[in-house]
Structures are given as C-alpha cells and as structure tokens.
A and B are shown apart, each in its own frame.
Chain A
Amino acid sequence: MGWLADTVAWLLDGANWSGSAGVLTLLRQHLLLTLAALAVACVISLPLAIWLGHIGRGGVLAVQLTNIGRAVPVLAVLVVLVVAGSPFGFSGLTPVTAFTLFAIPPIVTNTYVGMREVDRGAVEAARGMGMTGWQTVRRVELPLAAPLILNGIRLSATQLVATVSIAALAAFGGLGRVITLGFANQDVGQVVAGALLIALLALAVEALFDLLGRLIDPGRRVAASSLQVPVVSTEP
C-alpha cells in the first residue's frame, strides 16, 4: 500500500499545486476548456433542437445523433483532429472543436425529446388562447421542457469533464496531465492523485447540476427520477 502514502504525500505537497504544470493551472485549463465547449455547444444545439422540437421534425436525426456519438470513440476523434492540425495554425482551436463535437449530442437529443414530450393539450390550449408560435415556445413549451433541457446540459458537462481528461493522452492540457505525467514519472501515487482530482471534479459538476435542477423544478421530478430509470447517453 505504499502508493496510498505516495498519493497523500503528492496531494499535500504544495509544489504540485503551483506553477505552470501545477494542479491549479491544469484545473483552470480543464474548467476553461469545458466551459468554452459547453457554451459553443449550447449556442449551436439549443436553438436548433428547440426549433426542431417545436415543429416536430427531424426527430430521427436528433435521436440518431446520440447513437453516433456513442459509437465513435472520444480518443479516435481527438487523435484524428490532432494529426490533422488546426487549419488556422492556432492550436487552442483544435481541442475546443473536438470537445464541442462531443457536447452537442446530449443537448440536442434531450432538448428535442423535452420539447416533444410537452403535453399536446397544453400546446393546443396556448394556441387556442391566441398565442403565436414564438409565445407558445417561450411561455409554454420551454418552461415545461426545462428539466429535460437541463438534463441534456448536465450530461454534456459530465461528458466534457471526461473528454477533457482523455485529451491529455493526445497531448492536450487539463487535469488528465497529472495522470499522464505520473505515468511518465512511473509514480503510481501521482497517477492515483490525478484520478482522484478528476473523479472529484466530475462528482462536483454532477452535484452542481443536481442543485440547479432542484431550483428550476422543485420537488416533483427529482423525487420521481431517483426511482425511474433514465437512459444513459454519454461516454465516461
């Protein structure tokens, strides 16, 4: 169990936390890449999926997107994009492009399903009250679809934390670097320390979205979802 002592020692050593390859820098990179990709993915997916859900078209595509995302390994896309290089000669763009690709499917699928699962009676009633298409979307469909839309963004964020970690294998930054550097140093303690940090980050992101979910939809569905069985649509 020498590795356990090594892990604790590594985590307690202040030198590992500061500097350009320190945990704090890598954590900042990790969060920055995650947030950037999540933001770009939201800007692309949300309007598209909300529109498709509103008019009720393109459902096959919206659902197939998740199936395709599941079959294509994260690592495969990362290595292909790295070797292809950035067309603009700016390396920061390659990771954000790659990560955005993986963040899109959960948001599109969940938003589309959320919009379609809104009670048709409620939509008809809104129309009967004289609401325009846009008003129906804003005042009826979006509020009712909000829990599922948020779930899509949550899945996407969890997926991104995992994807950004894997990116360290293809020589990108982020917390995964602690692990790859640990391998390079043949330091199991460091590898486990990096794994703990990544796992904690993933659980923290999950807890954050759990809190957000309770805020936008207090009580009702949270209680139901702990017994119901949601579909798994991401690649850890």
Chain B
Amino acid sequence: MLSVVRAEVHAATLADNCLVRNDWVCPLYVQTRAEELWDGTLQHLYITGMSLLIGVLISVPLAVFAHEWRRARRLTLGVSTALYTIPSLAMFSLLLPFLGLSAATTITGLVVYSLTILVRNLLVGLDNVDDDVRDAARGMGFGRFGMLRKVEAPLALPAAFAGLRVAAVSTIALTTVGALVGYGGLGNIMLRGVQANFKAEVLTSSVLSVVLAVVADFLLLGLQRLLVPWQRAGA
C-alpha cells in the first residue's frame, strides 16, 4: 500500500521524459549534454589527428629506408608486427610510468599501432612499382633519389592512401581505449555511461565514434580522388 503511494508521489514529482525513463535514444540527453559530447568529440579528433600526423611523419622515412635496405626491411616488419600484437590496454599501461595520465600516453600508443599499418602499405606501394618503369626512369637519367621522388612515390600513392584510411579508421576506434588514462575522447563518455548505467550516454557516444570513423574514411577517399585522379580508388 505504502509503496503504491510512494510510486504515485514519485511519478507526480518527476517529469516523464526520456532521461527519467533511461531510454536508449534521448534527444533531451543530446540537448542538455551537448557541451560534454562536443568536448569528447574534439578530444577524440585531436588525439586521432596527432597520432596519424606523427605516424605519417615517422612511417614515410622508415618505409623508404626499409625499401632500400633489405635488412632494415626484415627488422622493421618484424618489430612492427610484434608491437601490433600487444593489446591496446597493455600498451597504454606500459606507457603510463613514462608519460603519466596524459594525452601523450594515448597518442604514443596509437602512433605505434598506426606505424605498423602505414609502413606496410607504403612498402606494398613501393614494391609494386613496375620494374620496366624503373628501368625507363633509369634510362632517362633519374638518380636514386630522383626516381624515388618523381617516379616511385607518385605510383605508391594509392596504396599509401589505402593504408592511411585503414590507419585512420582503426585509430579512431582505438582512441576509445585511452579512457583508461582519462584521455579517450568519446571513450571517456562511454565509460562514464556504463558506470552510471546510462543508456542514452552509452549509445550516443558509441554511435558518434562510429560516425567519426565513417566520415574520416569518406573524407580521405575524397582527398585521394583529388590527389590521385588518374587512379580510381579501390578498397
């Protein structure tokens, strides 16, 4: 009897909206926590962007080096494969004593993973340059560096872009695990949501992270078509 009365009082004092009902889809949640979602998205983009930028800056010379020297190639592929095997939770934890609870911890871990993907794809691109093309370039008087810059690099561009797209999509997904050290972009919101059993928070942040990945993939595909118009970009 008492509980019935209580329930009625409860229902009377609380507004009946999607936040109170703990619905999965809740426009009111997005409205009231817009700032929080925006901050999470910005942090996500910052961490992903920095990781990819540093990854590209390191992977290009590394791939050229591995392409020119066979020994470096075996070592580079071996080390990067082993590093990629290390689970992300362990990777971020191993970096913790050096970089602490900072964005640098997440970014460094993500750079390591993106290197594996980027270097591999750059190597595929450089390897697949036709030997006849190389011979022709040599015949035209290109030196080693000139050939790399004017002939091999442009021909390797489609494979490099394919790698960049894979790296971007998987880096966006992996950024969420950075929530372990408090720098996981939308991942922070996911963890907060699961701890509070807050359905709208969990679903909205999850969907947003997938949307980011899809949009990034789409934008990079567009950029590829602009930069490499002579080749239709495949998967």
Measuring CB to CB, which residues of chain A are less than 8 angstroms from any residue of chain B? 3-4, 63, 67, 70-80, 82-84, 158, 161-162, 165-166, 168-171, 176, 179-180, 182-183, 188, 191-192, 194-196, 198-199, 202-203, 206, 226-227, 229-232, 235-236
How far is A3 from B96 in the complex, measured between Cα atoms in Å?
Answer: 10
Per the bound structure, the CA–CA distance linking A227 and B202 in Å amounts to: 43
Interfacial chain B residues near A67, Cβ < 8 Å: 169, 235
CA distance A202 to B209 in the complex (A): 26
Number of A-B contacts (CB under 8 A): 161
| Closest chain A residue to B78, Cβ basis | A226
Q: Complex: how many Å from CA A166 to CA B94?
A: 14
Are A83 and B89 neighbours in the complex by a CB distance under 8 Å? no
- Chain B count of residues within 8 A CB distance of the other chain: 55
- Tell whether, in the assembled complex, residue A192 and residue B177 are in contact, meaning their CB atoms are under 8 Å apart: no
B residues with CB within 8 A of A: 73-74, 77-78, 82, 84-91, 93-94, 96-97, 113, 116-117, 120-121, 123-124, 127, 166, 169-170, 172-177, 179-180, 184, 187, 190-191, 193-194, 197-199, 202-203, 205-206, 209-210, 213-214, 217, 235
A–B complex contacts, Cβ < 8 Å, 21 sampled: A72-B173, A74-B176, A76-B176, A78-B194, A79-B194, A79-B202, A83-B199, A158-B85, A161-B87, A165-B87, A169-B191, A170-B194, A182-B93, A191-B93, A191-B96, A195-B93, A199-B91, A202-B86, A203-B86, A229-B124, A232-B166
Q: A232 with B193: in contact, given A183-B180, A199-B86 (CB under 8 Å)? A: no
Cβ contact within 8 Å between B169 and A162: no
- Cβ-defined contact, A72 with B194, below 8 A: no
Q: State how many angstroms separate the Cβ of B137 from the closest Cβ of chain A.
A: 23
Other-chain contact of A79, B90, B169, B180, B193 (Cβ < 8 Å): B193
